[in-house]
Amino acid sequence: MHLTDDDFLKTIKNTPLISIDLVISDSSGRYLLGLRRNRPAADYWFVLGGRIKKGEAISDAFKRVAENELGVTLQSSKAKFIGVYEHFYKDSFYDIMTPTHYVVLAYSIELDHDINSFSVAQHSKYKWFDIVDLLASPDVHQYTKNYFLDKGLEDNENSSFF
């Protein structure tokens, strides 16, 4: 089922959206963030992610989001489920007046890949962050920081995420 833009805007105004966020680490323990181009959270460093479409299995959404955000194929079977989070924004990708509520399924996965080969459709650039820099940066969105703070990693920069 495909919604018209008007119907989807009504959905955003009246219901939460379900999405997947990918907390991607490399073998050095750094975490991949993208500088968002679009609302919500435009111009912030953020983990990669996207919404789940009606009728789409979570595993299919996981694969699609990775391909759309990075241009690489990732399998949900290789990821670890972190938990369920909520993100509330005062704006949406439609306009600055429509608030958005996301119910987010967060997953961690390791990927060693050259960031210069990633797609720039959703993010203007990518960067690998260590935990200390990620948590200290005012340009990293708080919702991204929460994935790390909720695991108590702010106290130990040498700790692995999971």
Measuring CA to CA, how many Å separate 34 from each of 13, 52, 117, 140, 141?
A: 26, 19, 13, 9, 11
Is 69 known as a binding-site position?
Answer: yes
The secondary structure of residue 16, as a DSSP letter, is P
122-161 pLDDT, tens digit per residue, is 778 999 999 999 999 999 999 999 999 976 444 434 334 4
List the one residue out of 29, 30, 35 whose CA is nearest residue 48.
35
**85 Cβ contact list (under 8 Å, min separation 6):** 21, 103, 104, 106, 143, 146, 147
**Domains annotated on the chain, with CATH:** 24-126 (3.90.79.10)
Phi-psi region of 124 (alpha: psi -120 to 50; beta: other; left: phi over 0): alpha
Tokens of 87: 């993100």
37-85 pLDDT, tens digit per residue, is 888 888 999 999 999 998 999 999 999 999 998 889 999 999 999 999 9
Is 122 known as a binding-site position?
Answer: yes
